[in-house]
Amino acid sequence: MNKRYTLGMLTLVAAITLSGCGAKKANDAEGAANGGNNGAANSSNESNATSGSGADDTTYLFASDGSYAPMEYMDKDVLKGFDIDFLDAVMKEAGLKYEVRNVAWDAMLESVKQGKEYQAGISSISITDERKQTYDFSAPYFESTNVILVKEDSDIKSASDLKGKKVAVQGGTTADILMTKIIGEGNTDLKKFDSNAVALLELDQGGADAVVADIAIVRDYIKNNPDKKLKEVLDNTNFTPEYYGIAYPKDSGLKAKLDPAIKAVIENGKYAEIYKKWFNEEPDTTHLTETE
Partner 1 sequence: MDFRFDIIEDYFPLLMRGTLYTICISLASIVIGSILGLGVGLGKMSRFWFLRWPMQSYINFFRGTPLLVQIFIVHFALVPLFYGKTNAIAAGVIALSLNAAAYTAEIYRAGIQSIDKGQTEAALSIGMTPWQAMRFVVLPQAIKRMIPAFGNEFIVLLKDSSLLTFITVPEIMYWSNAMKNQYIRVWEPFLTAALIYFILTYTLNKLLVWLERKVQA
Binding site for partner 1 (CB under 8 A): 106, 109-110, 113, 130-131, 134, 168, 171-173, 176-177, 180, 185-186, 188, 191-194, 198, 201-202, 205-207
Q: What's the closest the beta carbon of residue 76 comes to partner 1, in angstroms?
A: 22
What minimum distance in Å lies between the beta carbon of 128 and partner 1? Answer: 9
**Which of residues 179 and 261 has its CB atom nearest to partner 1 in the complex?**
179
CB 224 within 8 A of CB 186: no
C-alpha 220/C-alpha 280 separation (Å) is: 11
Distance between CA atoms of residues 126 and 147, nearest Å: 15
- Minimum separation from the CB atom of position 193 to partner 1 (A): 6
Least Å distance, CB 111 to partner 1, is: 10
Q: In this complex, which beta carbon is closest to partner 1, that of residue 13 or of residue 198?
A: 198
Q: How far is the CB of 35 from partner 1 (least distance, A)?
A: 38
Q: At what angle do helices 270-279 and 254-267 cross, to 10 degrees?
A: 80
CB-based contact 231:150 (threshold 8 Å): yes
CB 230 within 8 A of CB 221: yes
Q: Work out the widest C-alpha separation in the chain, in whole angstroms.
A: 68
Closer CB to partner 1, residue 68 or residue 278?
68
252 close to 259: Cβ distance less than 8 angstroms: no
| Nearer of residues 144 and 174 to partner 1, judged by Cβ | 174
Residue (52 or 171) nearer to partner 1, CB: 171
